[in-house]
Amino acid sequence: MKLKICGIRDIDILKYTCDMGVNFAGFIMPDDSPRKISNNFISSLENFNFKDTLPVFVFVNPSRAEVLEITTKFNNAILQFHGDESEDFCKQFNQPFWKTIRIKNSQSLESINNFASADALLLETYVDDSYGGTGKVFDWTLLRNIQLCKKFVLAGGINSKNIKEAISLNPWCIDVNSGVESSLAFKDKSLMAQIIKNF
């Protein structure tokens, strides 16, 4: 099972993430997110040694130009589309992509079938007026009939208190964001360590 720490915007935290062997490091791109990375931070990533950790750039309804700006700088980047993007939009960049499915009820799961070319599908909590990072858990019983080990990423409100339950669902990957923060948008190494020790 793989682990992604998302919402990283500090080089020291990123270095710790890579040193600890976390599989994926997520970087938030939308302007309206408190976890948005700065242009200076993006520049510092270009010569950064990620070791075995793969960078994941998270977009919400971006323009084609915004995505190309990242793909020209990072040829090993995974693109995560967290908005209302179509499959055709997501796959045009010829790089691995993850598509977020926001779960409100059992009908939400039907859109999984619209993204056959996605390298992974990230299941996130649906919240009105927000595309993620809310710290809320959706009803995991909705996933009973899905083989989560096949390219599904479980996200939404995962922290040290519920990580074992999340692992018991056997997803391909677990995505943690607010659950390793001491305050909004500030990652805490001790909280990260509590998650990482489970993998």
Q: Are 153 and 120 in contact (CB under 8 A)?
A: yes
C-alpha 186/C-alpha 90 separation (Å) is 29
Over the stretch 147-193, which tens digit does the pLDDT of each residue have? 999 999 999 999 999 999 999 999 999 999 999 999 999 999 999 99
Q: Is 25 left (phi over 0), alpha (psi -120 to 50) or beta?
A: beta
Q: How many other C-beta atoms are found inside a 10 Å radius of the C-beta of residue 135?
A: 16
- What the chain holds in terms of domains, given with CATH numbers, is 2-196 (3.20.20.70)
The whole-number average pLDDT for the span 53-82 is: 96
